[in-house]
């Protein structure tokens, strides 16, 4: 049972987070914001952006249930609302109707862009926060403290792997951008968008079941 739980939260969380953060979609923003920086400075910006994004996700995971209790929001309501947010972001990515990261226009004159706008809202935007808090509600509903601790640790692992993958992409952003080209980035963005819609529908379905169960 514990093995199944570990796989569920590690790989389920990893797939959801990689899909919602969509590392390849951050390449144009990162390249534009750091185009006048040296290679060393660009590498530093990539490292800190991913560390900041990881910290934001961990805070949302830890404080997610506290936030819900303060505002009187049920788990079901959060999952349904989060599912809609994620699905809408996926729709925008699939049909390329709007910047899915909801990032502001780049400012090449900004000295430090690692926290804003790359980490937030570029990587840890509304969709990412909704996914992480949604996972925190699933952890809170587990039966035992052992299961909760295991699921929490696996989710932290998923956040760490997602941030590491994002760092690898940003660190190699110039090379990847040249190799993929505009068409390649577009294809990957559309694929991620479709997967996000699936994740959003899954969240909505889970929220509806929670409502129907009366919890």
For tokens 């509304």, name the residue: 126
Pull the structure tokens for residue 61: 């995971």
- Would you give per-residue pLDDT tens digits along the chain (215 residues)? 677 888 889 999 999 999 889 888 788 778 878 878 899 999 999 999 999 999 999 999 998 878 777 888 787 887 788 788 778 877 887 886 554 444 444 444 457 889 988 898 789 987 888 899 889 988 988 889 999 999 999 999 999 999 999 999 999 988 887 887 878 777 877 887 787 788 788 878 888 887 787 65
The b/e string for 111-140 (b: 16+ C-beta within 10 A; e otherwise) is: eebbbebbbbbbbbbbbbbbbbbbbbbbbe
At residue 96, what are phi and psi to the nearest 5 degrees? 50, 45
Q: What is the signed CA dihedral for 202, 206, 212, 215, rounded to 10 degrees? A: -160
Quote the pTM value. Answer: 0.76
**Domains in the chain: boundaries:** 2-213
Exposed, middle or buried, 43 (CB in 10 Å: 0-12/13-18/19+)? Answer: middle
Instruction: Look up the CATH number of domain 2-213.
Output: 1.20.1250
């Amino acid at each position: 049972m514990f093995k199944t739980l570990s796989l569920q939260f590690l790989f389920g969380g990893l797939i959801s987070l990689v899909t919602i953060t969509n590392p390849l979609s951050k390449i144009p923003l990162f390249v534009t914001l750091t185009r006048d920086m040296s290679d060393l400075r660009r590498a530093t910006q990539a490292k800190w952006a991913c560390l900041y994004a990881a910290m934001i996700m961990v805070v949302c995971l830890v404080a997610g249930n506290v936030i819900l209790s303060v505002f009187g929001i049920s788990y079901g309501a959060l999952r349904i609302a989060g599912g809609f947010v994620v699905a809408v972001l996926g729709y925008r990515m699939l049909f390329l109707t709007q910047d899915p990261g909801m990032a502001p226009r780049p400012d090449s004159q900004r000295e430090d862009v690692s926290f804003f706008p790359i980490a937030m809202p570029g990587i840890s935007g509304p969709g990412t926060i909704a996914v992480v808090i949604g996972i925190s509600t699933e952890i809170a509903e587990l039966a035992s403290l052992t299961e909760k601790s295991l699921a929490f640790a696996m989710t932290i692992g998923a956040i760490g792997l997602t941030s590491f993958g994002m760092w690898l992409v940003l660190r190699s952003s110039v090379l990847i951008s040249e190799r993929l080209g505009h068409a390649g980035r577009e294809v990957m963005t559309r694929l991620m968008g479709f997967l996000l819609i699936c994740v959003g529908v899954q969240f909505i379905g889970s929220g509806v079941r929670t409502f129907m169960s009366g919890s």
